[in-house]
Structure 1
Amino acid sequence: MESERRGVPEAKGMTELLADCLGKRVLENIDVKSRYYGNSHVHRLKQRAMQNLLILETSMSKERREQLLVSVCDSLAIESHQPSVKYLQEWLLVRILTRHPDFRGRMWEIFQQVGLKRPGCMGSFIAVMYHLTKTTPQEQLEQFVKECLQHILPCCMAQQFSVRLYAQVVIHKLWELILSCNFEMVVKEYKVAYDCLNSGFDQANNVQKNLKKLKENFYFHAFHPTDHFSLETIFYEIPRLSNVSTDEWIAVSEFEIIKSNTIIPLQNTDNSLKQQSADYSADPTIDKSSNLQKKIMPWKCSDSQPELEFFSEVLDDVNHRNYERNRNREEGLIVVASLIDRMPNLGGLCRTCEAFNVSEYVLGSLKYIEDKQFQNLSVTAENWIPVSEIKPFMLAQYLKSMKEGGYALIGAEQTSNSKRLNDFKFPKKCLLLLGNEKGGIPADLLPLLDECVEVPQQGVIRSLNVHVTGALFVWEYARQNSCCNT
């Protein structure tokens, strides 16, 4: 057969081939020490791969689903994922286990193994078990709930904060289910354990606060793994509710062209997810009545300190600023750093752009944000600002298109006709081009600019570090446009 001569088994359909390719992107070659950041190039690739695997799962063979189940479990157990990827992986597990209940015994084995090898990731498996109760037939539900209680109750005393929190929330949700279904035997068997657990909650205000926030999170409060299986949830709601950059939100209207050729619903039949917003929990150790240092270092997501432990007051400010940035993106300042090639300069400039609400930060390559030197200076600023890629050889065409789009093109450069920064009035809709550390802005790009602006200097050395120059320009733009008053 022709397919066999090409090394492709004839029995292996296109779905399995595509799933294998996507799986290699997100599920294979992972390392416990690996780390990637929100809205990074790696994050986007993993999210897109998982979105497509969710769709491909609907037409896979049972054998391929079993292989996928093991791969996803390994990925959750080994790698620290961004929330959007983690939600999609957990959802995929729920759908496979719903379709093939005979796989659940394998899942309990994995649950126990993970608890010994890497306890911090058990929150994901606890969430999977909870969502499976929503898809389990009524006649099997009582037995399955008992199994869940047996495995999850010990996790309520786990060492990791996130595992304890997930376990406690799920126990609360399961108990509500038990009472609503009138599972008398389960109540009789586990009431003492639940009452003891619940009495501890009542005595700890901080625990109650975090429990309430997680219970009200869309994932436990509104999301349903079957009812919300739609292109809208996969490509729009999950990225939106996971605080992924808006350019990764794909609206339902984009899929209208395939409406008559897909078995997957385009949109949800209810508005419960639309009514939700991305929610995070406050750090329970903070006393809001005390006088705190205002300078807060950006947080890091991990199994022991997940997104649930973010400072609520900082997040309120971040969400507000992201809203304002997205609202003003079409008329704000774009900083183009494609000509800069030193990572500390790029990382430090990214931090400055985020601090002063720049609407977009343009790099010569998105791979730069994975560089350790970049990250040391940016301190996660790339997570909170739109970052895009324009390679140096594409700059001329990019600048022309931005000028056609109504942007004023400003170059930070000393020329015979350059204006002084303190005398220059920045237009609201503005693009700032920064030059290379050694060569500045190439001569062939200068004619494309509307203005060249320089920083007035009095010293002998008539140049500044490009990060310092960029920071001065960004500050002056922000000052002129009243962006520094909040």
Structure 2
Amino acid sequence: LQSDKYIEKLKQDVEKYSFKKQFQQIPIQRENTAFTFEPNVQPEANIQRKIQTSDKQNFPLIVISSLLDNPINIGGIARTCEIFNASLLYVEDISIKKQPQFQSQAVTADQHLCIQELKAEQIEDKLNQLKQQGYQIVCLEQSQRSTYLQDAALPEKCVILMGNEVKGVPDQFLNMADIGVEIPQFGHVRSLNVHVSLSILIWKH
């Protein structure tokens, strides 16, 4: 009875989301068909909710992480891209998928996500190519030209260019961007971790 009430509450919560029209009926994925409750174990621990798109196609969302070199960050980006159904992730070196640090963050995301190699010196040509295909370029960067995330109108066909962990996004790419996005911050630390920032941006998208 407790599990049934919890599932019903989940369904009611999902109905409140403004994006509900984009999705079919929300299924509740059970890890076990029968629940065995133990003392001090909450029913939430036995239920995982997944949202499935109506056509089961990837979103027209591409992420370029070729300016990054930290395998932990890139692994986190891969996990975020897979979770939010991105169509493609570019990395500077495809062999990074074999590194333990990448795998510890990505878990198994690289098995379900299209990941391709794109060298840093190839980024400009790739951006121009994607623009010709109707994509708009979004740079996630703290700059005077950036729009706060809550005010940004993100395009449906979107290429997100991630900046380097230290140097950020070079001016040559900021000048190519259709929109620069900045996440407002209120603490003393200068910036969020790069894959945390991407998660926030993609959720808004």
TM over 0.5: yes
Give the match for residue 467 of structure 1.
195
SS of residue in 1 equivalent to 2:155: coil
User: Hey, which of these two has a bigger chunk of helix by percent?
Assistant: 1
Give the match for residue 414 of structure 1.
142
The structure having more radius of gyration, on CA atoms, is 1
Deviation at 1:347, TM superposition (A): 0.6
1:325 is aligned with what amino acid? Q
1:394 corresponds to 2:122: yes
1:392 is aligned with what amino acid? A
SS of residue in 2 equivalent to 1:448: coil
1:325 corresponds to 2:78: no
Deviation at 1:366, TM superposition (A): 1.0
The alpha-carbon distance between structure 1 residues 467 and 287, as it changes in their structure 2 partners (threshold 3 A), is closer
The alpha-carbon distance between structure 1 residues 293 and 454, as it changes in their structure 2 partners (threshold 3 A), is same
SS of residue in 1 equivalent to 2:172: coil
Deviation at 1:393, TM superposition (A): 0.7
Query: Is contact 1:336–1:433 with CA below 8 Å preserved after alignment?
Result: yes
How many percent of aligned residue pairs carry the same amino acid?
A: 35
Moved over 4 A (4+): none
Task: Map 1:212-291 to 2 at 5 A.
Answer: 287-290=32-35
Query: Is contact 2:82–2:112 with CA below 8 Å preserved after alignment?
Result: yes
Give the match for residue 358 of structure 1.
86
Query: Is contact 2:35–2:46 with CA below 8 Å preserved after alignment?
Result: no
CA distance in structure 1 between the partners assigned to 2:103 and 2:47 by the alignment: 22
1:428 corresponds to 2:156: yes
Query: Is contact 1:333–1:429 with CA below 8 Å preserved after alignment?
Result: yes
Query: Is contact 1:333–1:430 with CA below 8 Å preserved after alignment?
Result: yes
Deviation at 1:290, TM superposition (A): 2.5
Q: 1:294 aligns with which of 47, 72, 82?
A: 47
1:381 corresponds to 2:109: yes
Query: Is contact 2:163–2:169 with CA below 8 Å preserved after alignment?
Result: yes
1:382 is aligned with what amino acid? D
Listed as ranges, the gaps of 5+ residues in structure 2 are 1-30, 37-44
CA distance in structure 1 between the partners assigned to 2:111 and 2:133 by the alignment: 26
SS of residue in 2 equivalent to 1:324: coil
Deviation at 1:397, TM superposition (A): 0.6
CA distance in structure 1 between the partners assigned to 2:33 and 2:84 by the alignment: 26
How many residues align? The count is 167
CA distance in structure 1 between the partners assigned to 2:116 and 2:186 by the alignment: 36
Task: Map 1:13-32 to 2 at 5 A.
Answer: none
The alpha-carbon distance between structure 1 residues 468 and 287, as it changes in their structure 2 partners (threshold 3 A), is closer
SS of residue in 2 equivalent to 1:411: strand
CA distance in structure 2 between the partners assigned to 1:342 and 1:295 by the alignment: 30
CA distance in structure 2 between the partners assigned to 1:390 and 1:443 by the alignment: 19
1:440 is aligned with what amino acid? G
CA distance in structure 2 between the partners assigned to 1:288 and 1:410 by the alignment: 43
Query: Is contact 2:138–2:158 with CA below 8 Å preserved after alignment?
Result: yes
Q: Cα deviation per residue 1:118-168 (whole Å; 9 max; x = unaligned)? A: xxxxxxxxxxxxxxxxxxxxxxxxxxxxxxxxxxxxxxxxxxxxxxxxxxx
Listed as ranges, the gaps of 5+ residues in structure 1 are 1-285, 297-316, 478-486
User: Hey, which of these two has a bigger chunk of strand by percent?
Assistant: 2
Query: Is contact 2:137–2:159 with CA below 8 Å preserved after alignment?
Result: yes
CA distance in structure 1 between the partners assigned to 2:32 and 2:115 by the alignment: 35
Q: Cα deviation per residue 1:332-386 (whole Å; 9 max; x = unaligned)? A: 1111111111011011111111111112111111111111100011101011111
Q: 1:440 aligns with which of 161, 168, 183?
A: 168
CA distance in structure 1 between the partners assigned to 2:168 and 2:116 by the alignment: 21
Q: Cα deviation per residue 1:154-191 (whole Å; 9 max; x = unaligned)? A: xxxxxxxxxxxxxxxxxxxxxxxxxxxxxxxxxxxxxx
Question: CA RMSD, aligned part only?
Answer: 2.3
Query: Is contact 1:412–1:452 with CA below 8 Å preserved after alignment?
Result: yes
Deviation at 1:441, TM superposition (A): 0.5
CA distance in structure 2 between the partners assigned to 1:401 and 1:325 by the alignment: 22
SS of residue in 2 equivalent to 1:457: coil
Deviation at 1:287, TM superposition (A): 4.8
The alpha-carbon distance between structure 1 residues 402 and 295, as it changes in their structure 2 partners (threshold 3 A), is same
CA distance in structure 2 between the partners assigned to 1:353 and 1:440 by the alignment: 20
Task: Map 1:21-420 to 2 at 5 A.
Answer: 287-290=32-35, 293-295=46-48, 324-326=56-58, 328=59, 332-420=60-148
Give me the TM-score of the superposition, normalised by structure 2: 0.75
CA distance in structure 2 between the partners assigned to 1:441 and 1:372 by the alignment: 27
SS of residue in 1 equivalent to 2:138: strand
Query: Is contact 1:325–1:358 with CA below 8 Å preserved after alignment?
Result: no
